[in-house]
Structure 1
C-alpha cells in the first residue's frame, strides 16, 4: 500500500491540473484546481525513497497531463503518432530529470522547500516553452484566467511569475499538511500570503486605472468555420468568407478600416496566382470582391520565397481594395514535425521522414519582425503586428514584434482541425497573456474559434461562438504604445531563478559539509 500511495497522489495531481487547464467541462479552466493541483505531487515526491522513484513519478505525471489536456492533438491530420504519441513519450522522459531536481529540493530545510519546488517547476515550464521544440501548453498559468487581479503581474514577470506563485501556493499547503511542527512554518505561510497580497493589490490598482485608447479601428472579423484541409475547400472557404464580410458592409460608402479573415484561407499563393483569383469563386470572384468592399483585407496565404526550390512561407498578406499586395509577414515560429521537419538538409533525414510520414519538407521560416500599417477613419496610421496561429503563445516573439512599432496585435489562426472546444479555449487563454504583458489590444481572428478582441487588462471586449460561421464589425481600441517592464527585460524572472538555483545547489552542500566536519571535530575534542 505504501508503494501505491505515491502513484495515487501523482494521478490525482495530474487530474487536478488537467481540470484546471481549459477543458471540455471547465471551458476557461479553474484556478481552484490550479491552486491545489501540485499538492499531491509535492506529497508524493516528499515520500519517495530514491531519485529513480521521484523521476518516474514526475515523468508519469507529465505524460498523463499531456494526454488528458492535449488529447485533441490526435486530430492533426495523419500525424497523431508525432503530435500526441511521440510528444507524450517525450514528456515522460523529460519529466525524469525534473523529478530528480524536485526531490533534491527536499534536502534543504523545510521552510525553503516550497520555494525550491516552485523554482524547479517554473524553470521546467519555461524550458518547455522556448526554442524550436517549444510547446507552452499544459502549464500552471493556464489555470489562472479567472484570477484577473493576480494575472496583471504578467507585465512585470510574465507568465512565469504567475506560475511560480501558483506552484508556491501548492507547495506551501503541502508542506504545512505534511509537517509535524507547523508553527515552525509560520514565516513561510506569512511570506507566501504576502506575495499573493502584493500581487493582488498591484492588479487591483492596474484594473482601477485602465489605459485610454487614442483611436479605434473599425474592423470586420470573419469566422468562416470551414476546414481548409478539405479537398476543393478554397472555393467554398472564399465564398463563405466573402458572404460573411459583405454582411457587415451593407453600404459600400461606409467601408471599415480593416477586414480580417483567418489563416489558411488562400491556399494558393496570391502573389503567384493573381489570375486564378480573378475568376475564383465563379459566383463572386475574389479580386472583384476586394474592389467591392473598398477596405484592406488581412488574410492567410503562402508566399513563394525560394523560387529555385519552389518553397513557400506560411504568411499573412495585407491586400488593398485594388488587389495590390501591400505588405506581408512570414511565420517565424513554425510547428516542428508539422510545419517543417528539422535537419532535412541531410539526405538520410529526408529519406527517413519520406518513408515515415510521406513528406520531408515544409514551410520556410520567416526572419523579419515587422509591423504593417492601415489608417483609421481620420486618416491616422495604425501599426499592427500579425503573429500567425500559435505564435501568439510565445512572449519573446510577440515582444520583438511589438518592439518594432506595433500598436495592436492581430492574430490569424486555423484551429478547426482540433474539433474540440478545449483546444480553442486553451489557445485563447495562452494568447490572452500577451495583451497583458505588452499592455496592448489583442485581436484573434480564427476560422472556427475562439475569435475575440482582448484589451490590455486581459478583458474580453467582443467575441464569437465556437464552430459557427459568423462575422462581427467592432471598434478595436488602439492604446498608446508603451514598453512594459516585462517587454524591456523579458524572461528575467526564470533566468534569475536559474542562477539562484545553480548557486544554491552548489554552495549549500559545501556549507553543510563544512558544518558537518566542524561538528565532528568538536565531538572528537570532547572528553570521553
Structure 2
C-alpha cells in the first residue's frame, strides 16, 4: 500500500494516531510520536465532510489513546477485584473524550467550515492550538476534572526542553507541540498533493522552520543556563528530610490490624530518625492510616505515634482521614454525613503535621481540595445529593468532603512548605498558589498503590517534575508503594525508590525563596487562549449567520 492509499484509509490512520498518542506518554517515552499523532489528527479533522464523520473518526483516535494511556485505572481493579474501579476506569476512558476532547475538535471543525481565507485556507489551522489549549486548561477548573492527558506531559523526560514553563506554564509546551504538528501536516500534504517537490526550496525552508521551532526550547536553556542554576542548588539553605515508603497494599490495609500497622510505621520512622544527619521532618504517604487519627476512639493508636514525636522531637507529616463535627447551629454542607443520633460531620483526606508539645486539636492540617472523581467524591454531589451514595468502596475511601482552607505548613517557625495530596499534584495553578503564599519547599504525598507497576504510577511521579520546574521548588515525594523521591527545581530526581518495595529515603532538599513569574501570575497564557477561542467562535458564528441572511 503506497502512502496516498494509506492516507485514504481513515480507519487505519485513526488507529495509528491513537496508538501514537498513547505511546508518547510516560512511561513509554516515545515522546516524538505526539507530533505525528497530532498531525494525523489534523488530517482526519480537515478531510472530514460532515460532523458525524469528524466525531466518529476522532473519537476512535481518542478512545485508543485513552485505553493505552489510562487503562491502568480499570486494570488495577482486577487486583482485588474491585468492580467499581474496573467500571470507573472504563467509563473514564469512554467519557473523558466526550467531555474534553471532542468539544475542541467539533468547535475547530465548525470554525474551519465557516471562516474562509481567500489565498490560503491552511491559515485556519492557527486557530486549533488556542482551542485545544483552552480545553486542556478548563480540565483544571471545576469538579468534573481529569487533567491527566495534557499533550505537554509527553515531554516530562525532556527537561532541557521545558525550562521556560517557570514563566509561561506547561500549556505553552502543548502550543509548541501543536505548532510543529501543524507544520508537519502542512508539509506532508503539499508533498502528497505534488504541489511541492521533496528537494524543492519551499520544502527545505519549511524543514528549516520546523527544526528551528523544535530547538527553540534548547536555545532558551542554553542562554539562561537553568541546569547550572537549579540542579541541586542550595543557595537559600537546605533541610534534611526522611521519606517513608511503607509499601502497604491499599486493597487489604483497610481490613488489617490497625495497631500493627501503626507500630510498623513507627519502626520505619525510627529508622529514618536514626540517620545522620537527623531529619528535620519525616514524611509518610497519603492515607497512611486506615482510620481517622483524631477521633477519640483512636486515641490509643494516636498516642503511639505521638510518643515517637515527643521522644524524638521530629515533626511527622502523615496522611490520614480526618473528621469535622458540625455544630447544631451554623452552616452545614447539604452533602454532610450524619450519625445515627442526627449529628452532622464530614470526613476529609488530610495531611496532618504532628509536632512535639502540640495538642492534636491544634495540629496543622491540609484537607485535600482536588478529589478524584468517582473514587473519592462524585462531582457536584452537594447539589445533586443522590450522587453521594453511588460510591461504595470496600476500602473505606468514598465520599470525602472538599477541603475549605488553604494551609501553608510552618515547620519549627523556620520553614514554610505546602503539601499536595495525590491528585492535587497534577493541577499546576492550584499547586503554584501555595508556593505564591510562601512555600519554600513542597511535599507530595500519595498512595498510587492501587496501580502497582501499571502506567499510572510512573505517570504520576513523572508529572511532578513540571511542578518543580514551574515554581523552581524542591519537592519531597512520599508514595505508599512507590515511587518516592526528591526532585530539584530543574526537574532532576534523586533517591528514586522502586515500585512495590519498602524504602526509607533520607535526603537533603533545598530551601528557595525566589518566586517565578508563573508562581505569581499562574496560567495567564491559557486564559488568553480561552479568550482567543471565544472570539474565534463568535466570529465563526457571525459568519455563519451572515451567510444564511445573504443566501
Paired with 2:432 and 2:323, the residues of 1 have a C-alpha distance of 27
The match for 2:241 is: 219
Q: Retained in 1: the 8 A contact 2:187–2:206? A: no
The match for 1:291 is: 310
The match for 1:56 is: 56
The alignment yields a C-alpha RMSD, in angstroms, of 3.3
Shift of 1:12: 0.7
* Structure 1 residue runs without a partner (length 5+): 280-284, 521-528
The match for 1:243 is: 267
The match for 1:256 is: 279
Q: Retained in 2: the 8 A contact 1:262–1:300? A: yes
Matched, 1:371 2:382: no
The match for 1:132 is: 143
Shift of 1:323: 6.7
The match for 1:438 is: 471
Shift of 1:403: 1.7
Paired with 2:528 and 2:401, the residues of 1 have a C-alpha distance of 34
The match for 2:68 is: 68
Q: Retained in 2: the 8 A contact 1:268–1:302? A: yes
User: What whole-Å deviation, never above 9, does each CA across 1:75-113 have from its counterpart, x for those lacking one?
Assistant: 254423553122222134334333323434655535424
Moved more, 300-309 or 167-176: 300-309
User: What whole-Å deviation, never above 9, does each CA across 1:280-324 have from its counterpart, x for those lacking one?
Assistant: xxxxx4333333433110001222113432322111101124574
User: What whole-Å deviation, never above 9, does each CA across 1:331-351 have from its counterpart, x for those lacking one?
Assistant: 111122221234445687158
Shift of 1:396: 1.7
Structure 2 CA distance for partners of 1:400 and 1:513, relative to 1, 3 Å: closer
Q: Retained in 2: the 8 A contact 1:387–1:410? A: yes
Paired with 1:358 and 1:419, the residues of 2 have a C-alpha distance of 16
1:15-414 equivalences under 5 Å are 15-23=19-27, 26=28, 29-74=29-74, 75-76=76-77, 77-80=82-85, 83-94=88-99, 95-104=101-110, 106-107=112-113, 109-179=120-190, 180=193, 181-182=195-196, 193-204=211-222, 205-211=224-230, 212-213=233-234, 214-230=236-252, 231-232=255-256, 234-250=258-274, 255-273=278-296, 275-277=299-301, 285-307=304-326, 308-322=343-357, 324-325=359-360, 326-345=363-382, 349=386, 353=390, 362-375=399-412, 381-414=414-447
Paired with 1:386 and 1:86, the residues of 2 have a C-alpha distance of 30
Q: Retained in 2: the 8 A contact 1:407–1:440? A: yes
Q: Retained in 1: the 8 A contact 2:294–2:302? A: no
Matched, 1:486 2:518: yes
The match for 1:525 is: none
Q: Retained in 1: the 8 A contact 2:280–2:314? A: yes
Query: What secondary structure is seen at the aligned counterpart in 1 of 2:229?
Result: coil
Q: TM-score, normalised by structure 1?
A: 0.85
User: What whole-Å deviation, never above 9, does each CA across 1:412-445 have from its counterpart, x for those lacking one?
Assistant: 1011011224211111122221111111111111
User: What whole-Å deviation, never above 9, does each CA across 1:100-158 have from its counterpart, x for those lacking one?
Assistant: 23434655535424433333332232223432121111221121022222211211221
Shift of 1:399: 1.6
Shift of 1:161: 0.3
Paired with 1:350 and 1:128, the residues of 2 have a C-alpha distance of 21
Paired with 2:409 and 2:385, the residues of 1 have a C-alpha distance of 40
Moved more, 487-496 or 328-337: 487-496
The match for 1:13 is: 17
Query: What secondary structure is seen at the aligned counterpart in 1 of 2:289?
Result: coil
* Structure 2 residue runs without a partner (length 5+): 327-342
What is the number of equivalent residue pairs in this alignment? 503
Q: TM-score, normalised by structure 2?
A: 0.82
1:471-482 equivalences under 5 Å are 471-479=504-512, 481-482=513-514
